[in-house]
Structure 1
């Protein structure tokens, strides 16, 4: 057949609909032909040969054909990426069969649906029916979050496995020092077995990661298409895209959710026999212990639903008053049970009280530099002191009057402080090899029965908090960009590293016992599960967020920053 239009030059091509008007039916047959006509009903450019079908089929005779020069290009500028083309016949989708709930081209309508009772033109019904295409976008966003959680969890699992292997080797070395003859061979033996197990496990994780990255790419591409159609497409285009992409979106969401349900925490540990006897056989034939690989399925716990949303409630700029020498620097904040906020200003040696609207309602000068504060009861606050071995107690009345209550002398320098129970604190140290300790309300000091790393933190380089329900201690390492979660009952830990965790400072326990951490460098609050999984990240309108606290009913959080520019305090409503 002779082509009515001329060939298109190779260098005139570009993806999607072509900028130069090309016959689209020919294009679907891998032919490049200049278009002569435009059908506004088909929404297609066609050459003379292809447009002649309008004169042959009665059902197409009412279509509006105009020359290319007369075509309204603006009406077809949106790229549908072939979503409006019939997969079977490569014709434009023009009809919808209400009996079978299917999109049809003109050929479909004549050949496959002539016995159906209701085949209507899409153009007539598209504007009358509300299309839930935005719902597809929401589902894709949720699936994207799950896929990103899978990626973060895999990265965290790799780091955790490496940490577990290191801890096994440290444990083995400690025992080897006591019984050198037996344990010289043991370290090499276990390390080899662990290496094999680690290699096999990492291979499996890499396969899962590759599959997840493909899903994430597909989700991102589909989401971009959905959002573009929702924003720029016509009602017809939205209607078509909804029906064309529904199956693909459902399949993607189903596959990603299945992967998410299969997420597992990976744990390698080494347990020695209860009764260790010197064997008569060479150590190569006898291993006094067992290498364990523990897998815990996370699919039963829907961590995605634990992710929180923050809605700003109030914001105040912290400025010095006429009586203050320096700009305020709030090194700690905490909620009183009635919703008021207590803050300590390290620069100006003050304790302040704010109401629920963040209006200052009380203030008291202090004879020392306050570091961290925690609300002990309805009218009592405990404060750690800089460079002094003391914990101070203040009485904060319902009328916002503040006065000194008592002082407890201690033997360790303490920085961060939080409640362990109604009689004890969990306190973070500085210039001390034990990073966290227990202090009673009367000043008695104890150590946790946990093998914390032998690392001494300087002031302001670490903070801690405590999860009462599971007996876990959380420690932030600001300059190692790491959050550690220590399980006191099992003497194990989870190491949390992520691109979003940069210079972690203050930490607090949030809804569902999740962990909220201020990240100075990324200007965010990140939310982490007890198992070390990244749940959410919220970008803050402040530089260097420094301290965070949570109200008693877990419905509000407050954040204060620490920078040389504008210091702020913000309050947010929590929703899940």
Structure 2
């Protein structure tokens, strides 16, 4: 079938053949007889017959192809069929450059192209693309709708977030106030307990000294009367009779003066306990993040006086091994950050490594008798020897031990622990003050603490340091005493109790509580930072000597000094 299509933009005088579009898809050129508006296709008689054989197509309206062509030609293209450059009707299509052309374009711009054809010829061949274009537009529209919905949702969420921020701040304020209420209750309780216990001790001390004062007054009155009214013989007899009493009074009062201390109770906040301005500049495009942080002091939890529960995990007997000169004597132990245990054997001059099951997995021969050990990092430990040196050993993951470096010092040290990343805290031997700081380069300096003018021979004292409260703990073995020194206030708490007999090794547990080996009672005594006895744990070993706690405060290890029955034990800590 042919039709004269002059007047609708086609070349005048030519007949434009309308082809069946379904056939064109099969590369067949068949004249179209019908047009289906629902299918939007020109179809030959064979292809259009499917509308009569399939029920779902029977509602489609079929018209003659010529009528449909005429109607299509009357559609107002609104300038879409005009060449942008020459404002002429688009009549040709350059297949080489995939570009629509008017007559001028075809002659001027595409004269060298090999395939410039009339639009009508290719239009029928590619008519199916209109449906593809429509599908693509539908996809684009769907995505545009998704974008708009997302923007609307984002705006709603932004409004909600903006409302939630002041609510969160108010909630946080309530939590902080609750924290301060709990802090007040806890601190007041500790202060009252400390006050009651201390007042009782002070009352006993005062009563005793008032008795001393009365005795001294009586002695002075007697001496004055004898010297005023007595004979020389009477004076001599009085002096001899009273000499012993005066010597006892002198000794007792001197001892009281030596132990004299000022009892105080203070409570201070660090100046950094404040909320700094919120950094509004901390944002990325489309995302505002308001951050603040409290200082480390403010974030530090208030120590809770909770009794520890020790559950036995493993116990091994330490026997003389092959190559050992004597029975082992572990004078120092500490946990590495990964849970392994490092020990120093004083008798056999060794540093040893145990795994979490207390199986010996590493050993290193030393040239001296080690005294104490502390884990410095993931793979380094520091060892004291009492020989004015501090050895840093490297411990690999495979348990190989080598000497990393040696630090020379001017003082002999027994116990050792870490103060911070730069300094150790060491307990001195036969030196006053009894505790000093040692830097990683060997620089030694003293704490700003008025220690008593007393030095400790080897094995009569041990020390440790409480980081979160800046306190030094010192044991006095033969005075059966534990001292807690506050570095900030230069004050001390003296802890004496029947449960503490010959305190030796000392370590810090959860919330800064103090764990002390009580050698004569064969137990571990737990003490609060205010000097309160929290608990006492009887051990299945005699004369416990060295103690340590893991970094996460979940395990405790302890060893003893009992000839023929030396043990190394590990406990799980719970509260």
With structure 2 as the length reference, what TM-score do the two structures score? Answer: 0.49
With structure 1 as the length reference, what TM-score do the two structures score? Answer: 0.49
